[in-house]
Structure 1
Amino acid sequence: MFRLIMLVLALLGVGWAVSGALMTWRLTRRARPYFPEPAPALAQGTVEEHRLIVADGTKVGTWLARGEPGAPCVLMLHGNGGSRTSLRSLLEEFSGRGYCVLALSLRTHGDSEGEVNDFGWSARQDVLAGIAFLEREAPDRPRIVFGTSLGAAAAIFASREVGSRVRGYVLESPYRDLRTAVSNRLKSNLPPGLDRLAFHGMWLFGDAFLPLPAEQLRPLDHVAGIPQEVPVLFLAGARDRHAHLDEVEDLAGRISSHARLEVFREGRHGTLRDSEPERYQRLLLDFVSASVPGETRGTRLHPDPPRRLNP
């Protein structure tokens, strides 16, 4: 009987380890296979297709809407599992108002190359490539980075190298650190207790599938790379179960002198725009407009201390 019990325990242990390894491998790979992303036809203006070669040789796909001469340029970065195709409606909104827009599919997403998804760390190079492209194509225009979820994390990881080459950031629902982000997602999908068991199984193999230790994937440790003269607008959902409001508050708190936090009471992960479409649009357009000295289409952002609205 003792041997049977030990055998069962051993098999359960092996099964736990194997399932943890498989889940971790899946989570760190492409969410879906490569698919083409042809440039959309817009009611106003045309959209160009470009392939950027990043510093490490990875090729990423982009759409460029040049907008009106002198208008700000917005680098748009999607969330995990998305691509620039998922940003089409925002691209149409900005380009329809004459802004220049570069929508980029981060590595391992859409029609961009790459197989290992390390949650924005390597994609920081894609952000740098996008900014360098805008500097070449529209050198005299102010540049704004808009990133949601994974895209926001990639922008934060790139911020120290970007420095003052951009006029501002809009960061929607970024994760604070990978440990918390993984735990949050498991809690959202598994019963209590089982989520912790799954977490420890996955975390055990994280370093084997990532290019750097999983514990080092912490946007919280990199957000201070955004220079003090560069304003940051954080957008967060009070009902977000993936990037909790207090976690986004922690990020904003690290740069409170030049950061502002706007909370969407009913917002969940990826639904902020849907929860309050008019307010969402106004916040983004005002922030971008404020990047142009003397611009009258929006109100210049005056950074306030991070604040939390009662949900």
Structure 2
Amino acid sequence: DTKQREWIFQPSDRSWPGANTAGMEDVWIDMPAQDGARLHALWLPQPATAGNAPVLLYLHGARWNVAGSSPRIRRLHELGFSVLAIDYRGFGKSSAGLPSEESAAEDARAGWDWLGRHAPGRPRFIFGHSLGGAIAIDLARSVQDEAGVMVEATFTSIPDVVRSFRWGWLPVGPLITQRFASIDKVAGIGSPLLVVHGSADPLIPATLGRQLFDAASEPKRFVLIEGGNHHNTQSRAMEQYRQALDELFGLRLLAQAPTAPTAPASPR
């Protein structure tokens, strides 16, 4: 179990090269039930003139800390969201420890509750990339007040990801403890779901994204980005995101909002 958690999460304080968190506020979220543990997060709000702008919880994937997601955070901010992006325990400046499926779910819920307290009455959305997509689906199934869910480059379950590897024929599936079985949870989401995947993703095949979408309840949308890989799909899919914000989430005015100044472009 320990080795699986190390392999799946690869927790560290490393950032993706070129990460730029300028203008993002540091936020600390206490977790009293966890012996004084706390989460570090980045908060990028809309200006006060944006009024009742929707808020979004950003859940990153494995290996890199939350600062490594700064390009994606900025793009979601440009779409009109105030974004809270958390680091799970074991990542970045959050409390030390080896993450697990259970602890990551607790961390996501803590971030969700923080948004509820600090932006009461505003529509709240959930976004997850890669492993964060599985955490996002688990959170969305367990809460009743999300306005919509977006997942990108994610999967049906860890056993299915393992079976997609060259050595996936080995019978290791029953031994996997950190299963992240989104395929069994996604139908329980009670809000619109956007699933985005790159056709050239070498880490998580697009077929897994499609299977996850097929298992979800309506309303939903699947966007396949031709030539997109595991890291650059969002940067190639902004028009599709804007269209989905309008047609799936009913955020027409948000989708047409002026673009805010951004950091230098990143392939992520």
TM-score by length of 2: 0.78
Q: 1:223 aligns with which of 186, 196, 203?
A: 186
Partner of 1:104: 86
Structure with bigger gyration radius? 1
The alignment partner of 1:267 has SS state of: coil
What is the aligned partner in structure 1 of residue 198 from structure 2?
237
Query: 1:246 and 1:236 mapped to 2: Cα distance?
Result: 9
CA distance in 1 between counterparts of 2:99 and 2:80 reads: 34
**Per the alignment, do residues 167 and 196 of structure 1 end up closer, same or farther by CA in structure 2, a change over 3 Å counting?**
closer
Instruction: Name the amino acid aligned to 2:255.
Output: G
CA distance, structure 2, for counterparts of residue 242 and residue 218 of structure 1: 17
Residue aligning to 1:11? none
Q: Aligned residue for 2:232?
A: 271
Q: 1:257 matched to which residue of 2? A: 218
Structure 1 portions without partners, runs of 5+: 1-20, 188-194, 207-212, 300-311
Q: Does 1:281 align with 2:238?
A: yes
Partner of 2:103: 122
- Structure with greater helix share of residues: 1
Per the TM alignment, residue 294 of structure 1 is displaced from its structure 2 partner at its CA by 7.2
Match of 2:262 in 1: none
Asked whether the 8 Å contact 1:145–1:169 carries over to 2, the reply is yes
Change (3 A) 1:41 1:290: farther
- CA pair 141-289 structure 1, distance change in 2 beyond 3 A: farther
Correspondent of 2:25 among 39, 42, 48: 48
CA distance in 2, matches of 1:242, 1:222: 22
Shift of 1:232: 0.5
Residue 255 of structure 2: aligned partner:
298
Match of 2:74 in 1: 92
Matched, 1:143 2:124: yes
Question: Match of 1:175, as an amino acid?
Answer: F
1:78: which partner in 2? 60
SS in 2 for 1:101: strand
Matches within 5 A, 1:140-219: 140-163=121-144, 165-184=145-164, 186-187=165-166, 195-196=167-168, 206=176, 213-214=177-178, 216-219=179-182
* C-alpha spacing 1:75/1:289, structure 2 compared with 1 (3 Å): farther
1:61-88 CA deviation, whole Å, 9 max, x = no partner? 1111221321111211111112221221
Residue deviations 1:168-212 (CA, integer Å, cap 9, x gap):
01110212111122343x42xxxxxxx358x55x76864xxxxxx
User: What is the distance in 2 between the residues matched to 1:25 and 1:106?
Assistant: 13
Structure 2: distance between partners of 1:292 and 1:23: 39
Paired position in structure 1 for 2:259: none
Q: Name the CA distance, whole Å, in 2 between partners of 1:249 and 1:273.
A: 17
- Cα distance in 2, alignment partners of residues 76 and 273 from structure 1: 14
Gaps of 5+ in 2: 257-268
Q: Whole-Å Cα distance in 2 between the matches of residues 204 and 33 of structure 1?
A: 31
* CA distance in structure 2 between the partners assigned to 1:25 and 1:296 by the alignment: 42
**TM-score where L is the length of structure 1:** 0.69
Contact kept? 1:142, 1:291, Cα under 8 Å: no
Quick check: 1:170–1:232 contact (8 Å CA) kept in 2? yes
